[in-house]
Chain A
Amino acid sequence: MTTDPAARPDHAPQREFSVSAESGTAKRNDTFLKVALPLLVVTLLVLGWDLVVLINDIPQYILPRPVNVASTIWSDWEILGPALVNTLTITLAALFLATVGGVAIAIGLTQSRIVEFSFFPIAVVLQVTPIVAIFPLINIYVPNIYAKLLLCAWIVAFFPILANTTLGLKSADRNLEDLFRLYGASRGQRLRYLALPTAMPYFLGGLRIAGGLALIGAVVAEFVAGSAGVGSGLASRLIEAGYRLNNARLFAALVLISATGVVIYLVLSFISHRALGKWHESAMKQRGPR
């Protein structure tokens, strides 16, 4: 994912890809390679998988061929499509609520030392408890299936946002703090013009982690809650396919979950880059003064 400005296509192996040696095209070739090389590797891996199945004559119910998985996504779309929508809905709703809740609680925690000292240890206890272990409890106490899944996914996604944002809100430059004090900034002004912008990169880092965790939360919640029929997502379809020895559909569901994760990551990375690109080190292409 990281950009490497040092990697310029001016050494031998890359020459065959480059049309000319000028810097404009060099940059474009860099981008091209960054997309092309992973695609090439994935293609080779998939071909390898196919070869292993073919050469060893492995039956479909043990390990399906990639082409079967792909055709299953197509042929079983009536089942997998709605499941994908359900999983995606839970994931995005959980991520949204985790963002709102995490940021709000982080702001609350950092407003007063009393509040922070009182509640932060509780947040830490919740964070170090394997959250999956409390899913059975949620299963007992929350009757509504959507609320149940949403709560599980939310709990998992919420902590990285809370922890990162809290850290960020407390990381303001000391001299800038002094400057704000000198000019008589109110508490609200300090939060708005200093603490929140300082916390932005931390928050976005937490958001990227939370995006992946929200999906994990949604999937694991379904495993535990065991929803079937109405409102069932990809995880239910995956388990169901496992019971029926329908491995092609199992793999198809897995591919869709994985693709969902990749898309969420890419979208959040894009948002992060857009938000920080102009000023933060992590998103900069070039360092130093121009």
Chain B
Amino acid sequence: MPATAVPHATTGATIVRLENVGKTFENGTCALSGVELSVPRGAFLSLLGPSGCGKSTILRLISGLDRPTEGSIFWAGERRRRDVGFVFQEPTLMPWARVFDNVWLPLRLAGISRRAAEGTVMGALEAVGLADFRHAFPRELSGGMKMRVSIARALATDPEVLLMDEPFAALDEITRFKLNDDLLRLWADKGWTVIFVTHSVFESVYLSSEIAVMTNRPGRIAEQIAVEEAFPREESFRTSARFAEIARRTSEALSRAMAPAP
């Protein structure tokens, strides 16, 4: 059976679109070239590719932390960036601040007082199941709990788009599976668009509504694969034949993308 590539023929409105985007760093390294990517509103899109293929660079460009050296990024037709939340590979918490203060940070930077932010912050902590740990310091938490705080912080601003850069890569498998399910639940509840960077085929298949497979250096989008499995997904999906089939197609697409050009 051939791979079902769904190039840009996405249903629904596009929230962010990358047109011929390239990024060459000051040292001459060409990380991205000719990236074409449309992210439908409400999608859970995974960027899948080997280490160093420019997945994180795409995320940084979308977030506005870096500027593309070629091409443009459009937000629902405009050039102005919408509200985004960013979850880094590391939890990236302030070690001197308690859990509450870490989650409060984006609101605090926007000038919202502790009192005014309290409801939102506690709501975000409840959503990730850490309301009881509001007074804890990051060092008192396990790796998975720190990542939950990091997600809660991204939740606090109620972003339209959540960008996640291999957020669970450093966690053990049991914790990762748990956080995968929690993330899908939050995504369904909040109606976000998620752009999720991963180098795990299985993680991308389990989580995504779409997978964008990337080529290596310079990175571009080789294929966009739709994962036609209904949400909410159950743990049993991980071991189902459909899962294996989609994973096989995705792996093949990845192999094709990584093969040297003829």
Residue positions of A touching B, CB distance < 8 A: 173, 175-176, 178-185, 189, 193-194, 197, 200, 278-280, 284, 289-290
Contact = CB atoms under 8 A, between A and B. Distances in A.
Contact of B105 (A178, A183, A200): A183
Interface string B84-127: 10101010101111000000011011100000000000000000
Nearest to B108: A193
A183 B142 contact: no
Given A193-B109, A280-B95, A289-B139, 12 more contacts: A175-B88, A178-B86, A181-B65, A182-B65, A182-B86, A183-B109, A183-B110, A193-B105, A194-B94, A279-B138, A289-B142, A289-B145
Contact of B106 (A173, A183, A200, A289): A183
Instruction: State the majority secondary structure of interface residues on A.
Output: helix
A19 to B, nearest CB: 31
A176 B110 CA distance: 16
A280 B97 CA distance: 11
B141 interface: yes
A173 B92 contact: yes
B109 A176 contact: no
A183 B96 contact: no
A12 B173 CA distance: 44
Interface in B29-69: 63-65
Contact of A279 (B84, B96, B109, B142): B96
Nearest to B89: A175
Label chain B's interface by main secondary structure.
loop
B157 interface: yes
B66 to A, nearest CB: 10
B207 to A, nearest CB: 22
Given A197-B96, A279-B95, A279-B96, A180 B139 contact: no
17 contacts: A175-B88, A175-B92, A178-B65, A178-B86, A179-B86, A179-B105, A182-B63, A193-B94, A193-B108, A197-B94, A197-B96, A200-B96, A278-B137, A279-B96, A279-B138, A280-B95, A284-B139
A180 B109 contact: yes
Contacts of A278: 96, 137
B140 interface: yes
- The winner among A175, A180, A183, A284 for most chain B CB atoms within 10 A is A183
